């Protein structure tokens, strides 16, 4: 898995490429949580180059979404790959995330209405 972070305006963009699995999930979690250190942080997670995501990756996304909400921040998914969408659809979690296919739309994307984050 390859990770890169950049700050653009008031957003942190994290780009992920490769496989998000049990071997790489811890590293991804640490990077994402550090990006949410400041209350009110805004994180765009570019998953367009992810080739595989297992349940460890799903757990990272859910924990990051929870942390963002707890700290008054935002997590948005940017252009998730087919591999990511397939896992999130299969688990029923895709609707919990604000998703956009492009950078401009990601800044204003919202999750589907009436969807609550699973209990902590």
pTM of the model: 0.85
| pLDDT at 118 exceeding the cut of 60 | no
**CATH code that applies to domain 2-106:** 3.30.750.24
Smallest CA-to-CA distance from 96 within 71, 49, 63, 50 is with 63
Q: How confident is the model at residue 101 (pLDDT cuts 50, 70, 90)?
A: confident
| Greater pLDDT, 90 or 100 | 90
pLDDT for 106: 67
Distance, in Å, from the CA atom of 15 to the CA atom of 25, rounded to the nearest integer, reads 14
The secondary structure element, H or E, covering residue 22 is none
The CA-CA-CA angle for residues 79, 84, 90, to 5°, reads 130
Average pLDDT over every residue of 99-115: 65
Q: How far is CA 67 from the centre of its chain?
A: 11
Smallest CA-to-CA distance from 104 within 2, 5, 8 is with 8
Predicted confidence (pLDDT) per residue in 40-94, tens digit: 889 999 999 999 999 999 999 999 999 999 999 999 999 999 999 999 999 999 9
| pLDDT at 21 exceeding the cut of 70 | yes
């Amino acid at each position: 898995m390859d990770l890169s972070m950049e700050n653009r305006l008031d957003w942190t963009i994290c780009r992920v490429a490769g496989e998000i699995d049990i071997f790489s999930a811890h590293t991804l979690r640490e990077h994402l949580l550090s990006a949410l250190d400041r209350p009110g942080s805004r994180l765009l997670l570019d998953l367009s180059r992810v080739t595989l995501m297992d349940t460890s990756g799903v757990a990272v996304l859910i924990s990051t979404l929870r942390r963002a909400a707890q700290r008054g921040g935002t997590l948005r998914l940017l252009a998730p790959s087919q591999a990511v969408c397939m896992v999130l659809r299969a688990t029923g979690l895709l609707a919990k995330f604000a998703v956009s296919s492009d950078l401009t739309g990601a800044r204003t994307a919202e999750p589907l209405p009436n969807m609550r984050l699973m209990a902590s």
